[in-house]
Amino acid sequence: MMEYRDLRVALLGAGSVGSQVAALLLEHREELAGRIGAGIDLIGVAVRDLDAPRDAEIPAELLTTDAESLILGADIVVEMIGGLEPARELIRLALTSGADVITANKALLATHGPELFELAGQVGAQLYYEAAVGGAIPIIRPLRDSLAGDRVVRILGIVNGTTNYILDRMDREGDSLESALAIAQQLGYAEADPTADVEGHDAAQKAAILASLAFHTAVPLEAVHREGITAVTHAQVVAAREAGFVVKLLAVCERLADPETGEEGVAARVHPALVPATHPLASVRGANNAVFLQAEAAGDLMFYGAGAGGVQTASAVLGDLVSAARRHVIGGPGVAESTHADLPVLPMSAVTTRYQVTLQVADRPGVLAAIATLFSEHGVSVEAVQQSVPTVTVDDGREVALPTATLVIGTHAATEAALAATVDALAASDSVAEVSSVLRVEGVAS
């Protein structure tokens, strides 16, 4: 077999992930060369501060602040800087100069992905991004390659480790959101600005990437409905557990019929949801991630593992590096992203799901009937109602019932538009003192 020259790899960034990529690359150089059929030569590591402490040892002579010159001498560029700029311009420079690019930058891909994929296609290079969703979990390649012959119908994903860690601690340790977030930050799971995690931006970026791949349709970030976990209360988490559910921040990507035309479209959304305690996603604990996927022929599949962490994420980056290097050895252009289906991306109002609505209502005859009528008038079918009358202990030790009752109403599947109209009507009703919680229920057959 013909000997192939060593491939020159430029690494941009040596933070949590980049430093581990450098360490693994240097440590396993020989073994990787055997798998690739060519040597890998790490020609340099671009950083901002040459003297900053590193999580893993990187030879000082490899460090540089001149990212552009490094890129121009490379066959493969690994972007581990994060954020939109200068990552976007540096990736554009790398692709234009003919290098393949590996990135874990979900914010950049969700915002400028189409532009970068188009550029890669024009120059015959390839953009790899396995680490951008689910950290160490292989999910991009299974969607792009292994499931390319199937039709993915639905994805339910826990794709943000920080929020899963927080919700898990609220449930198991009784922590507040704030104290659980502080620990998640110390453990290095959270983004530099943790609002990206708790407000659902990070999960929405990942949902846009997953939906685009799964449905062969460009799903822009702005089309992803997003709600974070800041409104989730400890009381909701406890009530969910007592009712046989857990609260999870889910990314839901699905095919659905446009309610107006009946034609097939797709939608992507991120929000807290009730998941039955028996569903495989309910057992995803701590900062782990999981993607539960339903495909027409394959049926149900679940991908599970570490969703964040430097060395774990570096595993996915090195997998991409081996793929990119093998492509150099074999030759031929990169494989373009497929958006051939170009399905309409539908708004949140078109989504159909189940709901659990918790109300404080006047405890008097006829109220239940009045509330049931409001649901049915808006086309939302009630599946189950649970009523409880809270009591207080007064000074002489007696238990006295409060004048309001708590109603927990579970619905059959209804559109978001119908549910929103029902909630408005409930809030305006004399019988309802307060709509205290509305949560979507996922992972239950409709």
The residues carrying an active-site annotation are: 206
What does the DSSP 8-state code read for residue 334?
P
Contact between 334 and ligand NDP per CB under 6 A: no
- Write down the residue that tokens 């800041």 correspond to: 230
With CB under 6 A as the contact rule, the residue among 7, 11, 16, 352 that binds ligand NDP is 16
Among 160, 217, 288, 406, binds ligand HSE (CB under 6 A): 160
Q: Taking the complex as a whole, how short is the minimal distance between the CB of residue 184 and ligand NDP, in angstroms?
A: 11
Interface pattern 124-153 for ligand NDP (x via CB under 6 A): -------x---x------------------
Rounded distance between C-alpha atoms, residue 115 and residue 160, angstroms: 25
CB 327 within 8 Å of CB 334: yes
CB of 290 to ligand HSE, least distance (A): 12
Instruction: By CB under 6 A, tell whether 110 contacts ligand HSE.
Output: no
Query: Residue 219 in contact with residue 208, Cβ under 8 Å?
Result: yes
- Return the SS3 of 184: helix
| CA-closest candidate to residue 228, choices 265, 187, 173, 191 | 191
* Residue 197 contact, options ligand HSE, ligand NDP, none, Cβ 5-8 Å cut-off depending on partner type: ligand HSE
Q: What's the min distance (Å) between Cβ of 206 and ligand HSE?
A: 7
End-to-end CA distance of the chain: 57
Residue 199 is a binding residue for ligand HSE (CB under 6 A): no
Binding part of the chain for ligand NDP, among 164-172, 255-263, 308-316, 436-444 by CB under 6 A, reads 308-316
Q: How far is the CB of 104 from ligand HSE (least distance, A)?
A: 8
246 CB contacts (<8 Å, ≥6 apart)?
A: 167, 171, 240, 274, 275, 277, 282
Comparing C-alpha atoms, which of 103, 79, 56, 136 is closest to residue 308?
136
Judged by CB under 6 A, which of 13, 265, 307, 310 binds ligand HSE?
307
Query: DSSP strand E in 97-241: where?
Result: 100-103, 127-128, 152-158, 225-226
* Contacts of residue 211, Cβ cutoff 8 Å, sequence gap at least 6: 155, 217, 219, 224, 253, 266, 268
- Region near ligand NDP per CB under 6 A, out of 16-24, 140-148, 167-175, 232-240: 16-24
Question: Quick one: which of 75, 100, 202, 416 contacts ligand HSE (CB under 6 A)?
Answer: 202
| Closer residue to ligand NDP, CB minimum distance, 104 or 409 | 104
Q: Which does 190 bind (CB under 5 to 8 A by kind): ligand HSE, ligand NDP, none?
A: ligand HSE
How far is Cα 40 from Cα 320, in angstroms, rounded to an integer? 13
Q: Residues for the chain: how many in total? A: 446
* Shortest distance (Å) from residue 35 CB to ligand NDP: 23
Applying CB under 6 A, which of residues 13, 18, 157, 161 lies at the interface with ligand HSE? 161
Give residues in contact with ligand NDP (CB under 6 A).
Answer: 12-18, 46-49, 52, 67, 80-82, 86, 104-106, 131, 135, 308-310, 313
